Structure formats: structure tokens, C-alpha cells
Amino acid sequence: MPNAVYNSTKADLLRADVDYVDDTINVALVTSAYSPDVDGDSFYSDLTNEVTGTGYTAGGAEITTKTVTQDDTNDVGVFDGDDVVWASSTITARGAVIYKDTGVAGTSNLICYVDFGVDKSSSSADFTIQWNSAGIINIT
């Protein structure tokens, strides 16, 4: 689940600027030097300290098999998708930033930041983000 939701995302929700199923939703990995600025960070162009390494391309990877569901039992809306894997990679990341990829950094809306709690590394191995079983994002 996200540790921070960018304030611009809250406005994007009200304007319906992001279609979580039909838009390209990416996840970029960031180092421990990244500190999310929920007020100032709005677009991928605002992102700093993205990881570099073998098997990782700037911009991250697309979240596939995306779904948005209504959970009446728990009174939440849920965005979910497949886990993301960077195969045979050598990288170290502290967190992930989810964003709508428009193909232009200055218009690619940041959505949220997920802090792994500790640095997570791979060395010529798969680096996998396994999303929470309750979904990537829950809105109550």
C-alpha cells in the first residue's frame, strides 16, 4: 500500500485525469536518497534519485493486467495489477513511484510512493515488487 499519495493525484481523481485500467501505469524504482514531496512532486519530470543498474531502464516498467474494483464489504475502491519483475537485474531500490506514463515526462502524472522499508537489492537476479494482497491502492 502507498506510504504517500501526491496531492496532485487527489486533484487528478476529481478531474478523472487518470484511467487506471486503460492508461499506461508504470512503476519506477528510487533510491533511499529520494524523499517524496507530496506538495511539489506532480509529474515524472519531478522525480529524483531513480535507480540505475543492469536490467533497469529509466522510467521503470509497466504494471500489467490492471483492475479497478468496488469492494462493498470493506467499503473501498481497489486498484490492482500484476507484480512487476526486472529479470536478471543488478539494482538496489528503497521504494517505488507509481505514475501514469503519457510518453512525456512533464505530463506523466505521479500517483503514489511505496517505501519498501529497507533497501531491496538484486544481483544478476530477478528484482520483484510483490504488491499487497489487498491491492496496490485502496481508497476509502
State pLDDT tens for residues 46-75: 999 999 999 999 999 999 999 999 999 989
Looking at residue 7, its pLDDT comes to: 85
In a domain? residue 140: no
pLDDT at 5: 87
Residue 36, in any domain of the structure: yes
Q: Is residue 99 part of a domain?
A: yes
Read off the pLDDT of each residue in 96-122 and give the average, rounded to a whole number: 97
In-domain check, residue 139: no
Q: Is residue 122 part of a domain?
A: yes
Per the structure, how many domains does the chain have?
1
- pLDDT at residue number 96: 98
C-alpha 33: how far from chain center: 17
Q: What is the pLDDT of residue 70?
A: 93
- Alpha-carbon dihedral sign for residues 46, 52, 57, 62: negative
- Alpha carbon 3 to chain centroid, angstroms: 11
Count how many Cα atoms sit within 13 Å of the Cα of residue 51 in the half-sphere of its side chain: 28
Q: Is the pLDDT of residue 1 over 80?
A: no
Q: Is 121 within a domain? A: yes
The residue segments making up the domain with residue 75 are 4-133
87 located within any domain: yes
10's grid cell: 487527489
Whole-structure pTM value:
0.94
User: Could you tell me if residue 58 is inside a domain?
Assistant: yes
pLDDT band of residue 85 (cuts 50, 70, 90) is very high
pLDDT interval class at 129 (50, 70, 90): very high
